[in-house]
Structure 1
Amino acid sequence: MADLKIYPIGTTQSRNLNRFIEVAYELNRHNENWIAPLRSELREQLNSQKNPWFEHAEAEYFLAERDGKLVGRISAHIEKLTQKTPPEQGGGVDVGMWGMFEATDQEVADALLKTAENWHRNRGIKKIVGPISLSIWEEPGLLIKGHDHPPTIMMGHQRADYRAWIEAEGHKGIKDLFTYELDITKPFPPLIQKIVASGEKNARIKIRKVNKNNFMKEARLLMDILNDAWSKNWGYVPLTDKEIEHARHNLEPIVFEDLIMVAEVDGEPAAFMMTLPDVNEKLAEFKGKLFPFNWIKMLWWLRKPRVRTMRVPLMGVRKKFQTSRIASQVAFMMIEYIRRNSVANYGASRGEIGWILDDNQGMRSIATAIHSDINRIYRIYSKNI
């Protein structure tokens, strides 16, 4: 068998980062359900000099090569904010992570996973968690259900055989993340309609759109609600101010005011729901490249996008309201208003909610109440080293 070489490439050199990125394109080029991400965005994400995530993280990228051909890749990284969270939330001072995993076969997978283990072991890490690429806010988990359809925006898609290869190396599943899909052209069940109608009669509640003209201020408000609502969730780490600004810059072109709602109770911002048009439906045409002409097509499309699917990546209700009746009222009101806007203004017919943690019974109950079904499952693994 030909010699297999695994070697580090650093996190800044453009040529090496390009080679690291191209591995995924090569290994997935025959997969009709894999959506090629934009290379320009990946180069910015992976470059430690451009991504503010690296201000509280360190990483190394490894390439696998056989007979002069690239056959795999993996990242090994330490997220310092995760290390500050308690073990029951997936953190701890001795926890590291891995991600960006691609491999042509079991031999390559074994070698890459062992290389990531050794990198962590040399830094005193006792447990590795993954795949998380690179942050919990980006593409967490390995796809174990839903290989028969493309992912929506900001969700990953990996080959089905990766699961067996990873588990063969002793990695155990510790957390599943669900996405739910539903037909949004149909009205919600009568009970939900009654809850919405009741909320509309409640003078304490106001549902408003975000103001994109002051989007940075609105982004900080949404993150403040999210920090309060999600702070005890498994895997949660707060975004820094620079990360919020970075995310705002990347998301602003695909943010539309009538798809993001804020719920106020007695004048206090109490909850929010963010929905994004599935840009992947357009990106599928571009094969990962915006230049020289695809950026014009994208800008034209973004003027008034028409999509089949809307994705709800984020939703949160402040803790002080979570056990009250008003929580369900504002949640279902926001969902209903965005459902109507998605169909009327964007031609959407399908919604996707998530990801949602397997133990988040509140959000899973909401998904069940509106008659949505699990369409994709992502699994996060852990291994003591």
Structure 2
Amino acid sequence: MRYIFEDQQRETLGNNEIVVVNDKKSFRDFYYADRIVYKDDPRWVPPLWDEIKDFFQEKNLFWSHASTKLFVAYKDNQPVGRIAAFVDTKFIESMGKPIGFFGFFECINDLSIAYSLLSAAENWLASQRMIEMIGPVNGRVDMGCGILIKGFEEEPYIYDTYTPPYYITLLETYGMKKHKDLVSYKLDVNQPIPESLKRAAKRCEENGIKIRGFNRLRANKELNWWVKLMMEAFSNHWGYIKVSEEEVKKRFGVRQIRWVVDPKLFIIAEKNKEPVAFKWVLPDYNQVFKHLDGKLGIKGYLLFLFRKNKLIDRAKFNFVGVKKEFRGQGIASYMNYYTLKELKRRGYKSAEIGWIDEENIPERKATEKLGVQLTKIYRVYEKIVTKKQ
């Protein structure tokens, strides 16, 4: 196992002790730097060590078109903050100009330390000839992006970003400006299913659209068509970067998808036995992960396998995609109808839908027809890159 940063030179930067990550010890400090930030926050769910570790391994195909520099801030020999800077050539190609990311940002409430971390990231991006930085984006948008600006009192669902209110001050004092907001909605599963969904389901059934669950026994075959459809469905979404099908398959993987997929919540709409749409809803595994302190291990696996059904009563509407030629036929509404019936059957109490780009008005309007509440707003920032002293 080799990490992407292991050839880098160890450095200590500036008046605050900011160290460049270049070995396994400093990488563990990078991972654990968030503990001091959230130590008294009962809502926070530690990220899984295995997920962070796997992302930064050299074998991750993301690094075939991206590079990074990781930094850890120390105070009294304890990690108190972290940041990563990223350059993704695929993203630069899609944008047509040299834009870098910063992500994995965590910091105690200290303007000086935050300034040092952000400066370290910005200086590295400047050395890579970037003219603008956007973030937080944790390398890829599916790894997490933005900071909370609304919804601090809400529990984070699986794959949610969760940050304290003072991060707004840390970033804006540094000179960051709004780049984009992303919104999430909360759905009360106990409310009646809207009649419009029932009508859409009836029309789709009459038109020969059938719904089935994901077949875990044929996970490799399912993954093949799903990757193609997902790449088509998300091609115009903010943050989407066109990469190889192989990279997307490796990102989700047969083993991982078998592990996390609930076959009755990952549903496929078919016409003449051919997939035309999908909806991937996840049980909110955060309700299990919050008991694991970021480590699965044997205890974690056993808890996940045998107690998840007792612990989980929430769901996350993760991905949805419809083939272009089948859009506007009510298939997304049909899948929503099917999903809500299943969540009700299980006794789930709530679901979260998002995030959704604030500018994606059609998707927001369709979501709001479900009788949801806008509960969270995440903000992604931008800044012109200038070399800091």
Establish whether TM, by shorter chain, passes 0.5: yes
Compute the displacement of 1:296 (Å): 1.9
Give me the CA root mean square deviation.
1.9
Compute the displacement of 1:243 (Å): 3.7
CA contact (8 A) 1:33 1:147 kept: no
Q: 1:41 to 1:230 in 2, by over 3 A?
A: closer
Match for residue 353 of structure 2? 353
CA contact (8 A) 2:154 2:375 kept: no
CA distance in 1, matches of 2:230, 2:276: 10
- Where does the alignment leave 5 or more consecutive residues of structure 1 unmatched? 86-90
CA distance in 2, matches of 1:48, 1:267: 39
| 1:16-165 pair list within 5 angstroms | 16-45=26-55, 47-85=56-94, 91-104=95-108, 105-165=110-170
Match for residue 377 of structure 1? 377
CA contact (8 A) 2:149 2:376 kept: yes
Match for residue 187 of structure 1? 192
- Where does the alignment leave 5 or more consecutive residues of structure 2 unmatched? 1-13
Compute the displacement of 1:268 (Å): 4.1
CA contact (8 A) 2:84 2:103 kept: yes
Residues 85-119 of structure 1: per-residue CA shift (max 9 Å, x gap): 1xxxxx33411000011111111111111111100
CA distance in 2, matches of 1:295, 1:229: 33
Percent identity between matched residues is 28
Match for residue 88 of structure 1? none
CA contact (8 A) 1:207 1:261 kept: yes
CA contact (8 A) 1:27 1:102 kept: yes
Residues 184-228 of structure 1: per-residue CA shift (max 9 Å, x gap): 12222223322222222223x222222111112212322211211
Residues 145-164 of structure 1: per-residue CA shift (max 9 Å, x gap): 11112211111111110011
Residues 332-385 of structure 1: per-residue CA shift (max 9 Å, x gap): 1111111111232x4312111111111112211121111111111111111111
SS in 1 for 2:352: strand
CA distance in 1, matches of 2:377, 2:315: 18
SS in 2 for 1:187: coil
Match for residue 331 of structure 1? 332
Residues 27-69 of structure 1: per-residue CA shift (max 9 Å, x gap): 2111111111222322222x23243322221101001123323
Q: 1:93 to 1:17 in 2, by over 3 A?
A: same
Compute the displacement of 1:181 (Å): 0.8
CA contact (8 A) 1:57 1:78 kept: yes
CA distance in 1, matches of 2:179, 2:24: 35
Match for residue 5 of structure 2? none
TM-score normalised to structure 2 length: 0.90
CA distance in 2, matches of 1:246, 1:300: 26
SS in 2 for 1:354: strand
CA distance in 2, matches of 1:229, 1:291: 35
Aligned mate of 1:273, from 252, 276, 279: 279
Match for residue 21 of structure 2? 9
CA distance in 1, matches of 2:52, 2:21: 16
Aligned mate of 1:237, from 233, 241, 257: 241
CA contact (8 A) 1:94 1:124 kept: yes
CA distance in 1, matches of 2:184, 2:169: 22
The one-letter amino acid paired with 1:5 is E
Regions of 4+ moved over 3 Å: 265-268
- Count how many residue pairs are aligned between Structure 1 and Structure 2: 369
More divergent stretch after superposition (173-182 vs 238-247)? 238-247
* Structure 1 residue 198 corresponds to structure 2 residue 203: yes
